[in-house]
Amino acid sequence: MLLISHLKIEMKWLSKETILKIPLVGWMMKMSGDVSLVRGDRSSGAAALKVCETWLDRKMSVLIFPEGTRSLDGEIRAFKDGAFRLAITTGTPILPMAVHGTRSALRKHDWRMGDTNAEVRVLEPISTVGMTEEDIPVLRERVRDLIVAEVAKMSAAA
């Protein structure tokens, strides 16, 4: 999270509610207006996406990790539809980001920061103009494929 915060893009984050309970990080996220949801609660997810839509209407970028969670093995999981539905509904372009080397920075189920070398690559934007909800599966897989390929390049270079 701290790595991505160095990008020169002002943004709000969509995060599970428990992240906001992490000392200092959670406080900063609350104070900056980041959006939280309760994992597994559909109404919470829908409400969070509505808040994200409001931010997008105000021309504020929203960062969404479309997997919804980190994997235990470090593999990029299947993407969920919400971020893509939001982008299509609002006509917002998607700016894919490939992140590599962060697994040991903040281990799953542990709020303590570890030592790591990490990298973020911002990929080319993808327009959603003219897309409908029927395009979600193709868009979702296109974005995932781009990110997986870029992370593989980053791994090979590490």
Higher model confidence: residue 32 or residue 73? 32
pLDDT at 1: 47
- Residue whose structure tokens are 């690559």: 121
Percent over 70 (pLDDT), the chain: 86
What is the DSSP annotation of 69-116? S--SSS---PPPSHHHHHHHHHTPPB--EEEES-TTTB-TT--SB---
AA identity, residue 149: A
Q: What is the tens place of the pLDDT at every residue in 110-127?
A: 666 666 677 889 999 999
Q: What is the 3-state secondary structure (H, E, C) of 28-80?
A: HHHHHCCEEECCCCHHHHHHHHHHHHHHHHCCCEEECCCCCCCCCCCCCCCCC
